[in-house]
């Protein structure tokens, strides 16, 4: 499985252009992508890929990101991606967790030695 997830493009915009934003911090990036993909996979396993299960998965993912304080707007599309791609449970590891972790690592490297500080906080 490639390390490509459609929502990673928007994540890169946030991390490389707005690295001080709370939505760009590692907790939100990694946690948001993980929770949203997990939510999509659970809804896919239980209800299948229908328009209403996609809508409920998306709404649930947003609510869970708020509850866990891991809101990352690009991750909101992960349940939709899951419902359309129909992946198996390995999708949580690759591309979701591995890809999000790589993006966070690249953002930290990108901001090394500059006046900017990334991340502002991990947890």
pLDDT digits (tens, 9 = 90+) for 33-59: 999 999 999 999 999 999 999 999 999
Local structure of 86: helix, strand or coil = coil
d(CA 119, CA 53): 35
Domain ranges in the chain are: 8-110
d(CA 5, CA 114): 29
pTM of the model: 0.94
pLDDT digits (tens, 9 = 90+) for 3-13: 678 899 999 99
Per-residue pLDDT averaged across 56-71, rounded? 98
């Amino acid at each position: 499985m490639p390390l490509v997830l459609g929502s990673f493009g928007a994540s890169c915009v946030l991390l490389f252009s707005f690295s001080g934003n709370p939505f760009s911090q590692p907790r939100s990036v990694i946690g948001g992508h993980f929770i949203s993909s997990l939510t999509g996979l659970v809804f896919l396993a239980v209800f299948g890929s229908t328009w209403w299960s996609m809508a409920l998965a998306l709404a649930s993912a947003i609510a869970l990101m708020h509850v866990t304080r891991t809101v990352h707007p690009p991750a909101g599309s992960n349940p939709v991606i899951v419902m359309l791609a129909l992946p198996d449970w390995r999708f949580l590891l690759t591309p979701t967790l591995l890809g999000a972790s790589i993006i966070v690592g690249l953002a930290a490297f990108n901001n090394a030695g500059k006046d900017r500080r990334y991340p502002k906080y991990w947890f």
